[in-house]
């Protein structure tokens, strides 16, 4: 449980909140997790990266170093990166999904789900976005540490993203790639999911 304690401690510390992209936009991710994304993207070479949850647009800008990016949020970021295609709307609404489907245009995607973390919302996002991931590709369900390590779990009485990640693995559609967790400290334990079928 050393990593559970360390991750909880790190979550509540200010340190990782200072991860910024080249233009000073906040990237709301642990550096370890960014490194894992970089490895995955370099290895898999997805044609597009689809992210739900833009916030300041820092993670989208980070992803844009490697591949075209579609980023979905309820609002457009104040300082949008010109390389990123932003879609404004609820990530699970039919209009948003239709727009993302049009933009993806049949290309293979790596998907990162990082918007609202309520289990019902993540479940709906998985239904909508998992089909963009090819077999062998990755769906990353962010912030599964909420469930695994009891971080801010009082905000998620029906469970958080980790519950949905487990359901997907149990259904046999995805497997958790524990190699992506080898640094120990990270916000996505059990959330780095490789598509099996």
Tally the C-alpha atoms within 13 A of residue 121's C-alpha that lie toward its C-beta. Answer: 15
Q: Which is nearer to ligand SAM, 93 or 175 (CB)?
A: 93
- One residue of 91, 119, 144, 188 binding ligand SAM per CB under 6 A: 91
Q: Is 181 in the site for ligand SAM (CB under 6 A)?
A: no
Comparing CB distances to ligand SAM, the nearer of 94 and 136 is 94
Mapped onto helix, strand or coil, the DSSP state of residue 141 is: strand
Check binding of 146 to ligand SAM (CB under 6 A): no
Interface with ligand SAM includes 58 (CB under 6 A)?
yes
Element (H, E) at 73: strand 69-73
Q: Is 72 in the site for ligand SAM (CB under 6 A)?
A: yes
Answer for which of 4, 6, 28, 173 binds ligand SAM (CB under 6 A) is 28
126 binds ligand SAM (CB under 6 A): no
The answer to whether 39 touches 110, Cβ cutoff 8 Å, is no
Backbone angles phi, psi at 5, to 5 degrees: -65, -45
In total, the chain counts a number of residues equal to 197
CA distance 78 to 68: 20
Asked if 4 interacts with ligand SAM (CB under 6 A), we say no
> Using the rule CB under 6 A, is 115 a contact of ligand SAM?
yes
Question: Which among 40-48, 109-117, 163-171, 187-195 is the span making contact with ligand SAM, rule CB under 6 A?
Answer: 109-117
The answer to whether 61 contacts ligand SAM (rule: CB under 6 A) is no
- Of the candidates 125, 112, 113, which has an alpha carbon nearest to the alpha carbon of residue 46? 112
CA distance 67 to 85: 12
Which residues make up the interface to ligand SAM (CB under 6 A)?
27-29, 51-55, 58-59, 72-74, 90-91, 114-116
């Amino acid at each position: 449980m050393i990593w559970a304690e360390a991750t909880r401690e790190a979550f509540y510390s200010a340190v990782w909140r200072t991860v910024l992209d080249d233009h000073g936009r906040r990237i709301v991710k642990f550096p370890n997790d960014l490194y894992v994304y970089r490895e995955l993207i370099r290895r898999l070479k997805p044609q597009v990266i689809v992210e739900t949850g833009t916030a300041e647009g820092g993670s989208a800008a980070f992803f844009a170093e490697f591949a075209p990016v579609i980023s979905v949020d309820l609002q457009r970021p104040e300082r949008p990166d010109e390389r990123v295609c932003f879609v404004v709307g609820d990530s699970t609404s039919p209009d948003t999904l239709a727009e993302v489907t049009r933009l993806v245009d049949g290309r293979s995607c790596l998907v990162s789900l990082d918007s609202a973390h309520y289990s019902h919302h993540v479940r709906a996002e998985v239904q909508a976005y998992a089909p963009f991931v090819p077999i062998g590709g990755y769906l990353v369900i962010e912030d599964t540490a909420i469930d695994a390590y009891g971080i801010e779990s009082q905000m998620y009485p029906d469970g958080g993203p980790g519950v949905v990640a487990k359901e997907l693995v149990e259904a046999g559609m995805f497997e958790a790639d524990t190699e992506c967790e080898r640094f120990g400290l990270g916000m996505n334990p059990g959330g780095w999911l490789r598509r099996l079928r």
